[in-house]
Amino acid sequence: MGKPTGFMEYDRKTSSSESPNSRIGHFNEFHSHLTMEEQRLQGARCMECGIPFCQSGMMLGGMTAGCPLHNLIPEWNDLVYTGNMSMAYKRLKKTNNFPEFTSRVCPAPCESSCTCGLDGDPVAIKENEYAIIEYAYQNGLADANPPKVRTGKKVAVIGSGPAGLAVADQLNKRGHSVTVYERSDRIGGLLMYGIPNMKLEKSAIERKTEIMKQEGITFVTGIEIGKDMKSKELLSLFDKVVLACGASNPRDLNAPGRDAKGIFFAVDFLTQTTKSLLNSSFEDNKFIPVKDKNVIVIGGGDTGNDCVGTSIRLGAKNVVQIEMMPKAPDCRADSNPWPQWPKVTKTDYGQEEAIAVFGKDPRVYETTVKEFIKDKNGKLKAVKTVVLEWAKDEATGRMVMKEKAGSEKTLDADLVLIAAGFLGAQKYVADEFGVVLNERTNVVTKAGRYVTENGKVFVAGDMRRGQSLVVWAIREGIEAAREVDESLMGYSNLSVQ
């Protein structure tokens, strides 16, 4: 695929980023993308590697290797190179319902498994995907295409994150009548309020959901199933119900002083910030104030990084990001070979901005918060941290992380944001529909299945598999939709890669 000698002739090139000191002045996306001619050369770099690990979607070493959607990457890389963008869009859409989202927020496990990256730089797959979908919008290829025949079957989807949207999109294409219920005031779930605007401008979500409306999908916002509307009513109105409510329980940190004023979950902080930005450009002041405050972010993942970048944009005095795990190596370890996901240190946009503004990397490794310190009014004023180290547990013989004696430190803190991940589904939703949760609070289904013990109720996405990537949520939605379709029609012609 591509030009047979392209990977030797052309260097990898990706979009340029606005400088950190400039981009912290706004909440917009900050990349300048390649010209179409430059993008064609990036498509040319795709090599005839024989086994395209980029589209494998396997689990290797406990991490995703290749695209979980099994995108036909070599095919559309070749089509980008030859300039056949219309066909490239058709091949991309065959496996991915929402390339406008994944080309912005996916960590690109496809590139980590690219054969070209085994002894050089991988193909710029994510950039090629972005070029294809934006070309499609600009040239009318992504316009609404409603189904010509309706089946008369009705399906309710609870939750409008990537899994719920994928279920709705697939079932609507089949001709079923789909209604999506979202408890928030805007469609998008995690995409809308869990990911900051500078990472995914909300116009990209609104552009796609408007097309889905034109194709016949009904969206209902501001309705919380289980509270505003009961499951009994919903099950009487629809032939099938799909739960796609996400992993909505944030993991807490139970340390002394946790009740101090000034401690928030990251998801609440990011949600309020984005909502205020969209509603009033922050004029309503309905967001958690950060200006001139010492901010401590607890958690080292993508959400923690998003909190760092958002805090800087809101005028934080200082930001420290605390991570329990050790710093990853700068290069692949021998125990982490290609095509596994590279477990190496990644300096993301928020950390880049902290380095530019404060002169140092905000991350503190192998550390946790031991105590939240309050003033006499119960307001947070500092945190006490302690260094963690690996040691053998005498009872089990396993290596565990324990506090290092004498390593306590006290850091000034006006605001703490807990970004320690999510535990699973919210129990009231599970109870409302009578579905069973496992020990990780994910909804139980049989292996490889999406139907619950209640044959009318299905589940997909993080609510079923636990906190994961957007691409996994989309894949779950695609597979769940096929199972729903089979239960309604006795067979299904919806494709699953």
- Alpha-carbon dihedral 158, 164, 167, 172, rounded to 10 degrees: 70
Strands 318-322 and 294-298: parallel
Domain shared by 295 and 169, yes or no: no
DSSP state, 442? P
What CATH number did the domain enclosing 82 receive?
Answer: 1.10.1060.10
Give just the sign of the alpha carbon dihedral 19, 23, 24, 29.
negative
Per the domain annotation, does 497 fall within a domain?
no
pLDDT higher than threshold 70 for residue 464: yes
Per the domain annotation, does 238 fall within a domain?
yes
Per the domain annotation, does 278 fall within a domain?
yes
Per the domain annotation, does 495 fall within a domain?
no
Cα 43 to Cα 36, 128, 130, 146, 356: the distances in Å are: 10, 7, 12, 31, 33
Per the domain annotation, does 272 fall within a domain?
yes
Q: Which band of pLDDT confidence, cut at 50, 70 and 90, is reported for residue 48?
A: confident
Q: Which residues contact 88 (CB under 8 A, 6 or more apart)?
A: 76, 79, 80, 132
Domain shared by 106 and 160, yes or no: no
For residue 2, the model assigns a pLDDT of 79
DSSP code per residue over 103-162: HHH---HHHHT-GGGGGSPPP-HHHHHHHHHHHHHHTTTTS----S---S-EEEEE--SH
Q: Taking the CA of residue 301 as centre, how many other CA atoms within 13 Å lie in the half-sphere pointing to its CB?
A: 13
For residue 496, the model assigns a pLDDT of 72
pLDDT higher than threshold 70 for residue 466: yes
For residue 394, the model assigns a pLDDT of 83
Number of domains observed in the structure of the chain: 3
Per the domain annotation, does 149 fall within a domain?
no
pLDDT in tens, 233-291: 999 999 999 999 999 899 999 999 999 999 999 999 999 999 999 999 999 999 999 99
Tokens linked to 477? 């939605």
For residue 23, the model assigns a pLDDT of 98
Domain shared by 303 and 366, yes or no: yes
- Looking at the DSSP bridge assignments, the partners of residue 242 are 157, 458
Domain shared by 278 and 394, yes or no: yes
Domain shared by 62 and 202, yes or no: no
Domain shared by 274 and 362, yes or no: yes
Q: Which band of pLDDT confidence, cut at 50, 70 and 90, is reported for residue 62?
A: confident
Domain shared by 433 and 367, yes or no: no
pLDDT higher than threshold 80 for residue 415: yes
For residue 396, the model assigns a pLDDT of 87
pLDDT higher than threshold 80 for residue 1: no
Are 103 and 92 contacting, i.e. CB atoms less than 8 angstroms apart? no
Q: Which band of pLDDT confidence, cut at 50, 70 and 90, is reported for residue 497?
A: low
Per the domain annotation, does 254 fall within a domain?
no
Q: What is the pTM of this model?
A: 0.95
For residue 397, the model assigns a pLDDT of 86
Interior CA angle at 349 toward 346 and 350, to 5°? Answer: 100
Range of the domain at 212: 154-248+423-489
Per the domain annotation, does 435 fall within a domain?
yes
pLDDT in tens, 94-151: 999 999 999 999 999 999 999 999 989 999 999 999 999 999 999 999 999 999 999 9
Mean pLDDT of 384-399: 90
